[in-house]
Amino acid sequence: MKDINKMAIIATQNLTKSYKRFEKEAGLKGSIKSLFRRKFLTKNAVSNFNLSINEGEFVGLIGPNGAGKTTLIKMLTGIIAKTSGEVSVLGFYPSKLEDKLKLQYAVVMGQKSQLFFELSAADTFLLFKELYNIPDDEYQKNLSYFVELFGVAEFLNVQVRTLSLGERMKMELIVALLHNPKVLFLDEPTIGLDAVAQRQIRKFLREVNEEKGTTIVLTSHYMEDIKSLCNRCVVINRGVKLYDGDTNALFEKYQTHKKITMVFETESNYRLPKYVEILEQSLYKLSFMVEKERAQAVLKDILNHCEICDLTIEEDDIGNVVERIYSDGGEVKL
C-alpha cells in the first residue's frame, strides 16, 4: 500500500491512448468504396487512467488479455506516446526519451528479448556496461550480486540461444538491473516458465525490491506472481481502472472458486453435484470449478467413491476475478 512518507515517482492523470482502425466492407465493392470514403473506428486502449506509485513499491497490474496493461506500460516507458492526459516518471515525460530518464529505469517483456542470441550472456552484459557507462567497480559488484543470487555462473559464457527459457529470463533480468535502475517495469516475466523457474524469479524480484529499494511494476496472468509479490494491485479492464488497493483484500472477496483436476486409476462415471461447473470429463479424468466453501465436501465424496492417481488444486485465474469485479458494475465492493 502507499506510504505517504515516500515520494510518488510514477504519476498519471486522465491518461488516455486511442487508436484509429480502418474498417471496410468485404469484397471488391467494399474495397472500391473505401478508396473514396474511408470509415474509421476509434478505440481507447487506456481511458482516463489515474495512477500514483511511490518509491520502493511493488505494484501488480492485472486484467485479462486486451485490458490495456501492456499499453499502459509502454506509455510509462516512452515506447508509445499518449493521446491525452498527463504522465510523469521520475519527473520526466517518458515519450521524450531523455537520456536522464532512460538511465533510471528498465523494462523486461516476457515475450521480447534484449539479449543478443549469437553472443554469450557475459558479452551482452559488457555491451550494456558500455551503453550505460557503468563504472568498472559498480559493474563487477552488481554482476557478482545478481549472478550469485540467481546461481547462473555456469551459463555466463555460453551462447544465449542455447539457454533454456528460464535461464534466458534470468539473464534478461540481470542485464536490465546492471545499471541500478530506480524503476523496473515487468510485462509477463514468468510467462511460459516452469514452476521451479517461476519461484526462483519471484525470490529474485522480492530481494531486488527489498534490498535495493527498486520500484517494480509487474503485469502477470499468474496468480501466484501477484499474490506473493505485490501488496498492492491495480485491476484494469477495457482500458479502465477498476480497483487500486490491497491485494489480499481483493482476492479474498473475488477469488471465490477453486479449479480441481484429477486423474483416476480405473474407469469412473462419477456424477458431480449440479452446482459444480464441469470443465472436462472422461472415464479417466475430471476437471471442474467449485466454490471454495464447497470444495472440501466435493473432494471428500469423490475420494470415497473413486481411486485417484493424480490431483491438482488451483486458485481462480485472474480473468475470472476481473469478470466478477466487472459484474459488480466495474466497482470493487470490499
Query: Where are the chain's structural domains?
Result: 8-253, 257-315
Nine cell digits for residue 73: 506500460
Q: Is the pLDDT of residue 1 over 60?
A: no
Confidence grade of residue 196 (pLDDT, cut at 50, 70, 90): confident
CA gap 68, 43 in Å, rounded: 11
**Nine cell digits for residue 172:** 534478461
> Domain spanning 257-315 has what CATH number?
3.30.70.250
Q: What is the pLDDT of residue 81?
A: 93
Which of 282, 284, 331, 328 has its CA nearest to residue 308?
284
Q: Which of 132, 113, 106, 244 is nearest to 185 (CA)?
A: 106
pLDDT reading at 296 higher than 70 = yes
- Superfamily of domain 8-253 in the CATH hierarchy: P-loop containing nucleotide triphosphate hydrolases (3.40.50.300)
Q: Is the pLDDT of residue 111 over 90?
A: no
Asked if 76 contacts 87 with a C-beta cutoff of 8 angstroms, the reply is yes
**Angstrom distance (rounded) from CA 132 to CA 118:** 21
Length of the chain: 334
Alpha carbon 301 to its chain's center: 37
Instruction: Write b or e for each residue in 33-57: b if 16 or more Cβ atoms lie within 10 A of its Cβ, otherwise e.
Output: eeeeeeeeeeebbbbebebebbbbb
Rg, Å, the chain Cα set: 23
> How far apart (Å, rounded) are the C-alpha atoms in residues 189 and 201?
8
Residue 4 has pLDDT above 70, yes or no: no
Three-state SS at 43: strand
Locate 159 and state its grid cell: 551462447
Coil/strand/helix, residue 50: strand
Predicted local distance difference test score (pLDDT) of residue 332 = 63
| Cα 323–chain centre separation | 17
Give the span between the Cα atoms of 45 and 67, in whole angstroms.
Answer: 7
pLDDT in the model for residue 2:
43
pLDDT beyond 90 at 261: yes
Q: What is the mean pLDDT of residues 291-319?
A: 88
d(C-alpha 250, C-alpha 50), whole Å: 19
Q: Could you tell me if 226 and 315 are in contact, meaning their C-beta atoms sit under 8 angstroms apart?
A: no
Which are the contacts of 19, defined by CB distance < 8 A and separation ≥ 6? 42, 43, 45
- Mean of all residue pLDDT scores within the chain: 88
Residue 3's pLDDT band (cuts 50, 70, 90): very low
Pair 72, 265: CB distance under 8 Å: no
Q: How confident is the model over 81-97, as a mean pLDDT? A: 93
The string of pLDDT tens digits covering residues 265-289 is 988 888 899 999 999 999 999 999 9
Confidence of residue 190 (pLDDT cuts 50, 70, 90): confident
Cβ partners under 8 Å of residue 187, min gap 6: 69, 70, 73, 107, 108, 109, 110, 111, 219
Q: Does the pLDDT value for residue 9 go beyond 50?
A: yes
pLDDT tens, position by position, 118-136: 999 999 999 999 999 999 9
Q: What is the DSSP letter of 330?
A: S
237: β partners: 240
Q: Give percent of the chain above pLDDT 90.
A: 55
